[in-house]
Amino acid sequence: MKRSLFVIVACGALACEAPPAAPVVSPVPPAPARTLPVEAAQVPVTLERRGAIVSARDVAVSATVSGRVALVAVERGQAVRAGDVLAVLRIEDLDFAHAAADAQLRQLSSRLAGAGRPEAVPAVVAARTAFEVSADALRRAEALAERGSVSQQDLLRARAAEASARASLDAAVADARALLAQVHEARVVVSQRRAAQREATLRAPFDGVVFERLVSAGDVVLAGAPLVRLVDPDALRVRLDLTRDEAARVEPAARVWIQGAGGRRFEARLSRWAPGFAGAVQLRAVEADVTPQTPFFGGERVRVDVETTELEALWRVPAPAVDSRQGAALVQVLTPAGLDARLLEVVRVEEGGALLVRGGLREGERVAVRPTQLAAGQQVTP
């Protein structure tokens, strides 16, 4: 009887114990957020084109003589100064030809003995002396013959000697003139050989950068063959083509935005137009100057956005509110329900850093600064 009572009392005690209280959850206050307004903007429509960075001074340095390449002293991308050696040719026949021409010149010059005109050539001087002696002898013989003091035979011999001396003088003068002509020709040949030896060393015609190396040591090249391509990095420009319809929508000095690999971007203006349209599809080449400070190099292919006369409604989003992702912009737009994450198409980045985006926003909306620190849908206090 006592045992039963104990069990009942115990069970009653357990039945009377109160259940544990549920934890009290306090509401999370909205997080503060700094927001900025988006602005509607009317901006010119742009044409996206592919262009090339070219140089106003783009030269293929070519050989003026034929030979074998002995040395290429530069590599692609190397900066050079005017006069720097680019390549050297080895011309086996040239050295022999120059030595032969030089020897011939020395031999001919020795016969002139420094004379610069036919009358001063030693052979002519000797022939003239002999002629003057024979002419004087003839004059004396003729004077004696008038007085009957010399025989007719002696007079004839004097006349023959004078005629022979005159002929020898004329021949010596002719030979001297021919010798002077030969010396002049030999000097020209020697000068040409020396010039060819100098031209076997190719030098940079101006300060620039090696854009292309076209030969290697050991190659045989002909006169006129290009060896190195050199460009002036301080005279770069971007070149692209426009169709007739596109050209009609573009102002002569329209703005262009040049974009290379890695997000490199530069703003310029069109500065040169080809005189007309060319080719089967009637394209017109246009150019814009690229300043030396821009991170582009000759030959690079780039994207070019060309400003047109047409306008498009876009949205201007402040840079601090944007998380850029490969041509798109992730923004957190403040709504009554919290932050709304939106991925927008980026049309252009303005000079101050603001982004021009297409669609996805409405008048009066605000975007949160540093949106990546907040979650989409999170309650915020503007």
Where is the domain boundary, 231, 251, 273?
A: 231
273-306 burial, b if ≥16 CB within 10 A, otherwise e?
eeeeeeeeeebbbbbbebeeebebbbebebebbb
The pLDDT value given to residue 206: 93
Q: Which range is most confident: 99-103, 321-325, 378-382?
A: 321-325
Which residue matches tokens 């582009």?
296
pLDDT confidence of 32, banded at 50, 70, 90? low
Please check whether residues 69 and 137 belong to one and the same domain. no
Q: What mean pLDDT is predicted for residues 314-332?
A: 85
In the predicted structure, residue 111 carries a pLDDT above the cut 60? yes
In the predicted structure, residue 5 carries a pLDDT above the cut 50? no
Q: Which residues contact 152 (CB under 8 A, 6 or more apart)?
A: 145
Please check whether residues 313 and 296 belong to one and the same domain. yes
What gap in Å lies between CA 10 and CA 5, rounded to an integer? 9
CB-based contact 236:293 (threshold 8 Å) = no
pLDDT confidence of 351, banded at 50, 70, 90? confident
User: For the sheet containing 201-203, what is the strand order?
Assistant: 201-203, 85-90, 67-72, 220-221
CB-based contact 326:343 (threshold 8 Å) = no
Q: What mean pLDDT is predicted for residues 105-124?
A: 73
Q: What mean pLDDT is predicted for residues 309-334?
A: 87
In the predicted structure, residue 75 carries a pLDDT above the cut 90? yes
- What percentage of the chain reaches a pLDDT higher than 70? 80
Please check whether residues 214 and 76 belong to one and the same domain. yes
The pLDDT value given to residue 3: 46
pLDDT digits (tens, 9 = 90+) for 216-260: 999 999 989 999 999 888 888 999 999 999 999 999 999 999 988
Does some domain include residue 20?
no
pLDDT digits (tens, 9 = 90+) for 197-212: 777 889 999 998 898 8
How many domains is the chain built from? 3
Q: Looking at residue 207, which CATH number applies to its domain?
A: 2.40.50.100
What gap in Å lies between CA 180 and CA 187, rounded to an integer? 11
Q: Looking at residue 305, which CATH number applies to its domain?
A: 2.40.30.170
Where is the domain boundary, 148, 180, 198?
A: 198
Q: Map residue 369 onto helix, strand or coil.
A: coil
In the predicted structure, residue 261 carries a pLDDT above the cut 60? yes
Query: Domain range spanning residue 303?
Result: 35-55+233-381
Type of residue at 183: V
The pLDDT value given to residue 178: 79
Which residue matches tokens 């002629």?
131
Rg of the chain over Cα atoms, rounded to whole angstroms, equals 48
Average pLDDT of the chain to the nearest whole number: 82
Please check whether residues 209 and 345 belong to one and the same domain. no
What gap in Å lies between CA 306 and CA 284, rounded to an integer? 14
Could you give the count of Cα atoms lying within 13 Å of 257 in the half-sphere of its Cβ?
16
The pLDDT value given to residue 1: 42
Does some domain include residue 14?
no
What gap in Å lies between CA 366 and CA 370, rounded to an integer? 13
In the predicted structure, residue 135 carries a pLDDT above the cut 50? yes
Does some domain include residue 5?
no
- The 8-class DSSP code of residue 314 comes to E
